[in-house]
Amino acid sequence: MEIEDFLQKKKLVSVIGLGYVGLPLALVLAKKFRVIGFDINAARVAQMQQSIDPSQELNASAFEGADITFTHQAEDLQLAHFHIVAVPTPIDEHNNPDLTPLLKASKTVGQQLKKGDYVVFESTVYPGCTEEDCVPILERESGLKFGLDFKVGYSPERINPGDKEHTVEKILKVVSGSDAEASALVAQIYGAVIQAGVYQASSIKVAEAAKVIENTQRDLNIAFMNELSVIFDRMGIDTQEVLEAAGTKWNFLKFFPGLVGGHCIGVDPYYLLHKSKEMGYTPHVITSGRKINDEMPAYIAKRLVQMLIQHGKNPGQCRVLVLGITFKENVADIRNSKVADLVRELQQYSIAVHLVDPYASAVEVAHEYNLTLYDAPEDNYDAVIVAVAHKQFAAMNLESLRALMNGKPLLLDLKGIYTRAEAIERKIAYWRL
């Protein structure tokens, strides 16, 4: 199979899974190739056919000039020769990898696979998953022989939701293939649209491992910051001020404490943990980091309760406003939201919580977390928690926040938007990580 066949549009590329990762990639590919964009959700497909991104990440202009056909009919994949699987890989309630979407996607592709086709996976997995879990399904469903009749590759996604600067075509792409020929074609396909270029890993397992440690590294660094925030809080030291001072050294890594949610940093380490334990080794550092980050919602809730009591308030009679539930600022993605965990922890203390987020869908929040999303704040709150630094919240000054609270205002600024001096000036009890 030659790259010219795709550039001349004699052969097609398919992208399976059109979420935060798949849709931007499909549209970029469709600037050079003929693309079939497949998603099992017919309602989402209908939106994309109208140049609407259901994830609210892309505007209509991103669809302009794209040679792409959106479909929810699996048989349309037969028209393609190069298939890219970009479905989510979450964890279950026990923090074990949930490969259900990936394995179902492998089955769907396998049923449409033809001799000579390529299948490239983008989903974050543990090393070995592509060849040990996905390839057997492709063989079984297609009746074809791996290596002889079809080839596979792995190119981990590096989408950063909400980032308008580091878009998919501007991020260096790691690529790999099941053999030298496969690696070369995978590199050529991606290289045709990725302006930042590609990096060819020596094997699929190396590429899989590289992806899973990218976010594990961030998880561990944030866990260290969270642990420092707990220590310094007990010492009466402002963690942010400590980090500012330490950050004056040229090689100090600038990470900050906070809630670690989303579909990457709070999830990917569990994939590596799972595979490592399978191999007979329990990683102590990774496990410890995950434990610290997962415990932060409970820690924050307990800290607020302590502050309420210190200010003569009965937590069971208090109303608290929580600003933000998405996993990061200026995005609509609520997957694995640690703010939801924080709200539940507060409710365990019988605190009435009002949740407001201009980006999140009230329907999705109710379905995913059984929580009510209010359209706008009310007033007479005993405390306000700024949980996500959406631009709308960052634009709010302390006077406007003060006006939402009663006579003994408490502000928990989890994103460090304000300063302690500002809060003291306005007689607001202030706390931040």
Residues labelled catalytic: 264
Which residues neighbour 160 within 8 Å (Cβ) at sequence distance 6 or greater?
166, 171
Write the CA distances from 77 to 11, 85, 284, 375, 386, integer angstroms. 12, 12, 43, 41, 45
Q: Note whether 325 and 340 are within 8 A (CB).
A: yes
The answer to whether 135 touches 150, Cβ cutoff 8 Å, is no
Cα–Cα distances (Å) from 39 to 101, 125, 130, 143, 154, in that order, read: 11, 20, 20, 24, 20
- CB hemisphere CA count around 7 (13 angstroms): 10
d(CA 7, CA 9): 5
Neighbouring-strand partners of residue 137: none
Question: Using CA atoms, how far apart are residues 127 and 210, in angstroms rounded to an integer?
Answer: 9
Determine the Cα–Cα distance for residues 38 and 73; give it in Å rounded to an integer: 7
Q: Retrieve residue 258's tokens.
A: 């906070």
